[in-house]
Amino acid sequence: MRILGIDPGLQRTGYGLIDVAAGDAALVEAGVVRADARKTLEARLKEIYDGVSGVLGEFRPDVAVVEELFSTYSHPKTAILMGHARGVIFLAAAEAGVPVVSYAPNRIKQAVTNSGHADKQQVQRAVQAAFRLAKPPQPPDVADALAIALCHWRMAGRGAARRRSATRAKGSP
């Protein structure tokens, strides 16, 4: 299975692509789609859309995994703007025929660090360890995207294990 993790941002959208086989995850590609902060919102969204579309077209993942919005009442505008970035990412995935799954930030952190309240450095170190990298991925958007992909792999695996257990309990092979 090929999983594309995406960490949406209006200036930097991180992406991380992993291949999963035989119970192991391998890093395929990771990087950042950059949008020029000096441009209008619609121009930046087009840059994000074009960049993500390019990644989807080149690497053809089986699933795209995008971090859910995290908003606080003190910063509602940020959540709205991030919603725009997520929207063009979802559109690019839909046009590429790639299903999209989302996880909450604390679920992602829990899946990769065993703490739902891990900081950026803990996430970076967990991703570094998972892929046996010499250094933590930079910028942090790349580490976050890889963490998102790892979260889906780990969560999907747990779900499959639960489904197999339930099937065996019912007496099916």
Residue 137 in contact with residue 146, Cβ under 8 Å?
A: yes
The token pair that represents 137 in the structure block: 């991925």
Residues catalogued as catalytic: 7, 67, 141
The token pair that represents 116 in the structure block: 């739902």
Which phi and psi angles does 21 have, rounded to 5°? -155, 145
* Closest of 41, 45, 58, 43 to residue 4, by C-alpha: 58
Q: Which residues of 12-43 are buried (b: 16+ CB within 10 A; e: fewer)?
A: bbbbbbbbbeeeebebeebbbbebeeeeeeee
Interaxial angle between packed helices 105-113 and 140-169, expressed in degrees from 0 to 180 and rounded to the nearest 10: 80
